[in-house]
Amino acid sequence: MSVMVEFEAVSKSFTVGKRQVDAVEQVSLSIEKGEIFGIIGYSGAGKSTLVRLINGLERATSGRILVDGEDITTLPESRLRHVRGGIGMIFQQFNLLRSRTVAGNVEYPLRIAKWPKEKRKARVAELLDFVGLGDRARSYPEQLSGGQKQRVGIARALATEPKILLADESTSALDPETTQEVLRLLQRVNRELGITVVVITHEMDVIRSIADRVAVLEGGRLIELGTVFDVFSNPQAAATKSFVSTVLRNQPTADDLVRLRRAHPGRVVTAEILDAGRLGSVLSDAVGKYGVRFEIIFGGISALQNRSYGSITLELVGDEGSVDALVKDLQAVAAITEVPA
Amino acid sequence: MNADWTLLGPVLVQALGETLWAVSITMVLGGIFGFVIGTMLYTTRRGNILANAAVYNVLNVLINIVRPIPFIVFIAFIQPVTLGLIGTSIGVPAIIVPMTIAASFAIGRIVEQNLVTIDPGVIEAARAMGASPLRIISTILVPEALGPLILGYTFIFVGVVDMSALAGLIGGGGLGNFAILYGYQRFNYGVTLVAVVVIIVIVQLGQFLGNWLARKALRR
């Protein structure tokens, strides 16, 4: 795979009053052609600034940004406008033009790109069909639901056949059902049209649903980067762990542990499950082999990028030596963490 | 005292013509200059598409200097400019100069205030699509704010009719002059009343037209 967007030690600072705010600090990362790249962070983490550096809506203070091989950090505004035609963008609040119809909104970027009228008409019809709004061409944005507005936004962003689509919190104003509908559409954009998609969000669920790789941003810095599976199954930074816990609730929290401890006085361990584990067979042997009983007291297994992932918390009851032996057996098939008594 | 309308009638028609003439020219020229001033004021604001603190501050201060001056004083204040521009400082053309200047700054402020209400996200979206600042002004700012802009322009129209009443002061005639000269100074309340009614009709028609156009622009 080749690189579509490359950040090389990019920083961006603003002066607010007399204070200097470092929105993005020394970020280096590359976004591959054809992938869905997620950027997650709390509000104020600098993710909106980061995405705007890709199409030059914000100019980097230092560092280099290469878009499809072209260094855009040194381009003058007039040249940058041309580059932007190759990068679509959608927004949290959709940002549709109220004075234009659905078709007028989708046509707008084509006018800027100076497409002839006949081609514009055909392209608009094709795009509205793609997003499933062929029958709403003459409607005005205020007559549409949130999900429909975002689909118009997507059609508009795709009009000039961009190589990259930037989605800035594109589902944050939508209900869960509509969110899934828009995410499925973004996935189609990626798979059917081969467009590289950069998704900015504070919702880990969005990342889990569609992203291939994810970057975690905190205080303007890149704190974690990897495939969604790796980051979810083995989060390193505290912020990442907290994001992961918002969607995967199979790890007991401190409160859960207190409650579990009260009800389960035996030895408690948590086993990580990755792909096809053999935890179950080891446990079922345990009764006959060591005379140890077990109870499943917390956890769950979910799918992530078509792989199984999760964790199960167990209470093991039996004499100390037998339980020790069983834990050893378990360690051979899964990562085990002890829950202190 | 009964007025002789066979004599006063043509005078009233002429006064009406002078008022309409002065008001129309002012609204056209003031509309153009006001739009330019307002758009510049808006686009040169900090963080906006043509952000430029110097231009913004100069315009902003200029508007704040011109706007509070009472129009009757402004006519006198601007007299050298009027003389320099059109070679005379009396008559209908001479009243159009101060009226246009005052209207331009008033419209400029109204334009700025209405553009500020446009969602900055829409402008950002246009920038992201590669639109140039001029293109954003003509295809985003104006269409998105058209309804309120028409209403603001209509609001200024009433003020301009008001200004035109002072034209008599420098020999510019008009309905205001007619009311004072033939009504008030001759103790003929009926004549004053007729002039007032004509002015009210003009304002009502203007407001009606403005509301109608704004409703069409707003689609409601």
**Over residues A217-224, mean pLDDT:** 94
A–B: how many Cβ contacts below 8 A? 57
pLDDT at residue B1 is higher than 60: no
Proportion of chain A above pLDDT 70, given as a percent: 100
A93 touches chain B (CB under 8 A): yes
Return the pLDDT at A277.
72
Between the CA of residue B8 and those of A18, A28, B16, B166, B173, what are the distances in Å? 68, 84, 12, 20, 14
C-alpha closest to that of A4 among A212, A183, A222, A182 = A212
Report residue A272 CA to chain centroid gap: 23
Count of beta carbons in the 10 Å neighbourhood of residue B116:
13
Give the pLDDT confidence of B84-101 residue by residue, as tens digits. Answer: 999 888 888 889 999 999
**Over residues A85-113, mean pLDDT:** 95
Return the pLDDT at A127.
96
pLDDT at residue B29 is higher than 90: yes
pLDDT at residue B61 is higher than 70: yes
**Over residues A227-256, mean pLDDT:** 84
Return the pLDDT at B220.
61
Q: What ipTM does this complex have?
A: 0.84
pLDDT at residue A240 is higher than 70: yes
B149 touches chain A (CB under 8 A): no
Proportion of chain A above pLDDT 90, given as a percent: 61
Confirm if A212 and A45 have CB atoms less than 8 A apart: no
pLDDT at residue A1 is higher than 80: no
Return the pLDDT at B26.
96
B122 contact residues in A (CB cutoff 8 A):
95-98
Confidence of residue A98 (pLDDT cuts 50, 70, 90): very high
Report the SS3 class of residue A140. coil
Q: What is the DSSP letter of A318?
A: S
A112 touches chain B (CB under 8 A): yes
Enter the tokens of residue B42.
Answer: 């808006």
Confidence of residue A252 (pLDDT cuts 50, 70, 90): confident
Mean pLDDT over the full length of chain B: 92
Give the pLDDT confidence of A274-311 residue by residue, as tens digits. Answer: 877 788 888 888 888 888 888 898 988 887 778 888 88
Helix, strand, coil share (%) of chain B residues, nearest 5: 80, 0, 20
- The nearest alpha carbon in chain A to B216 belongs to A99
C-alpha closest to that of A247 among A309, A195, A172 = A309
Return the pLDDT at A160.
95
pLDDT at residue A320 is higher than 80: yes
Nearest to A112 among B119, B130, B146 (CB): B130
Nearest to B119 among A57, A82, A95 (CB): A95
Q: A154-157 long-range contacts, Cβ below 8 Å, gap at least 24?
A: A154/A90, A154/A182, A154/A185, A154/A186, A154/A189, A155/A106, A155/A127, A155/A128, A155/A130, A155/A131, A156/A88, A156/A96, A156/A105, A156/A106, A156/A108, A156/A109, A156/A127, A156/B129, A157/A88, A157/A89, A157/A90, A157/A109
**Over residues A73-89, mean pLDDT:** 93
Give the pLDDT confidence of B161-196 residue by residue, as tens digits. Answer: 999 988 888 888 889 888 888 888 888 898 899 999
pLDDT at residue B72 is higher than 70: yes
CA atoms lying within 13 Å on the CB side of residue A173: 16
pLDDT at residue A34 is higher than 80: yes
B121 contact residues in A (CB cutoff 8 A):
91, 93, 95
Q: Tell which of A97, A127, A166 to mutate to test the B interface (max B CBs under 10 Å).
A: A97
Helix, strand, coil share (%) of chain A residues, nearest 5: 40, 30, 30
Q: Which residue has the higher pLDDT, A313 or A277?
A: A313
Confidence (pTM): 0.86
A234 touches chain B (CB under 8 A): no
Q: Tell which of B46, B117, B129, B218 to mutate to test the A interface (max A CBs under 10 Å).
A: B129
**Over residues A46-75, mean pLDDT:** 94
